Amino acid sequence: MNKNIHMAIAEKVEEIKDDVINTRRHLHMYPELPGEEKETSRLVAERLEALGLDVRTNIGGYGVVGILKGGKLGATIAWRADMDACAIQEENDKPYKSRIKGVMHACGHDAHTAIALGMAETLSSVKDDLCGTVKFIFQPFEEGTEGAMRMIKDGVLENPRPIAIYGLHQGSLGADQSYMESGAVNIHYGTALFGLDRLDINIKAVKPKFNSWAEQERFIYKISRINNYNIKQAERDIHKIIDFKILKKEGNDETGEIRIQAQFRYAMQEYRDEIRNELAGIIDEYIKQSKSDVTVNYVKSIPPVYNDETECKEAELILRELIGDNVIPILEEVPPHGIDDFACFQNELSGLFFFLGSANLEKGIKAWNHTPGFDIEEDCLAFGVKTMASFLVEVLYSKSSTGKWPN
């Protein structure tokens, strides 16, 4: 490891840590809903331009990209941060609480954006010694899981195309359901977040004066059986279907029409089609028994966030050199049930998704994401900037040392 560059990174982070906190607080006070991140996007673009980065805006909506070229030839990698907030009324009584009624950064995307801006500034200060290029991707519309694909369709991964992408999610609750305090980084080997399929099921009975309520309950019982489906190739319990939910159901006794909105989660992308086939078999059985017409429309499919084991091991070695035992590998525990469309980037590139601790039990900072009382221990911001900036330096050096990277 180049200790001099890591020392310079640490000094720079110490210099800017208050600004990183203030940036996060400003974003927290003025949150913007998915697809409405106009002012957040403007702030990000202005900060990146002030650093001298090549800045591109309005990618996939209000997405922003900042390209930092190092002083030495090397590979291109990407860092992704999401920017949008949630439709939640904040209940915290803090000076930086949300000033927008009914909107709150309850998932920590304000922290993700502030950390990424801090990383861009920190790495800019050592760019003469940096091998290769870092492409900072600031994504809109993560809540609702549409932003990543919108940016990809707009060419965010081209000119230049990274060979890998990285990102993080802060949180107070770790993958093993224990509290994850500030100063820790989790690497979840394998599935880090579940995939999600959302579907509409429409039923039209052929019988007159059809009793939709009874038939509906019968059908729901049938499809609930998929919760017991265990994919045969799976070796660990996380590969079971653990969460099939009916989100909404409507029926009409006169017409015999039923509309059901449902979703299911899965741990491995290659098993999704098997799950769909299992569901199709249950529906076919129901059709034969009820003589009803049934149509199924999959309206959304987000793959799991999956961390390759080999890359996890390489990252863990780097992080152990940087932060010692503060890097915590997660090997067997069931991952959080949340989803993140960072997975869409991983479908295009290799890369890893980390979890950054943001709880402080002594201060009582431990509320879950997506709750009105959510907050973070702000010490995690500078820690995240320093740790991940140094990590990217080492990744670039490692990937650039082979001399085999795309132009």
pLDDT in tens, 154-165: 999 999 999 999
Residues 6+ apart with CB under 8 A from 162: 76, 77, 78, 135, 349
Residues 6+ apart with CB under 8 A from 94: 375
Tokens of 46: 């202005």
Of 245, 269, 302, the residue that ends a domain is 302
Residues 187 and 87 in one domain: yes
Which phi-psi region, left, alpha or beta, contains residue 352 (left: φ > 0; alpha: ψ -120 to 50)?
beta
Of 275, 302, 329, the residue that ends a domain is 302
CATH number at residue 292: 3.30.70.360
Distance CA 113, CA 123 (A): 15
Distance CA 61, CA 7 (A): 38
Q: Please tell me the predicted confidence (pLDDT) of residue 345.
A: 98
Residues 163 and 42 in one domain: yes
Q: How many domains does the chain have?
A: 2
Q: Count Cα atoms within 13 angstroms, Cβ side, for 249.
A: 14
Residues 241 and 312 in one domain: no
Contact indicator for 333, 175 with CB cutoff of 8 Å: yes
Evaluate whether residue 169 is within a structural domain.
yes
pLDDT digits (tens, 9 = 90+) for 23-80: 999 999 999 999 999 999 999 999 999 999 999 999 999 999 999 999 999 999 999 9
Rounded to an integer, the average pLDDT of 141-149 is 95
Task: Indicate the average pLDDT of the chain.
Answer: 89
Of 286, 302, 318, the residue that ends a domain is 302
Residues 6+ apart with CB under 8 A from 239: 230, 231, 233, 267, 268, 271
Within its chain, how far is the Cα of 90 from the centroid? 22
pLDDT digits (tens, 9 = 90+) for 237-288: 555 555 788 888 887 666 778 888 999 888 887 778 878 888 898 888 888 8
Distance CA 192, CA 4 (A): 33
Distance CA 112, CA 20 (A): 11
Residues linked to residue 354 through DSSP beta bridges, in sequence order: 168, 187
Evaluate whether residue 407 is within a structural domain.
no
Residues 374 and 314 in one domain: yes
Q: Please tell me the predicted confidence (pLDDT) of residue 226.
A: 72
Residues linked to residue 301 through DSSP beta bridges, in sequence order: 197
Contact indicator for 104, 98 with CB cutoff of 8 Å: yes
Contact indicator for 199, 111 with CB cutoff of 8 Å: no
State residue 257 phi and psi, 5-degree precision.
Answer: -100, 135
Range of the domain at 245: 195-302
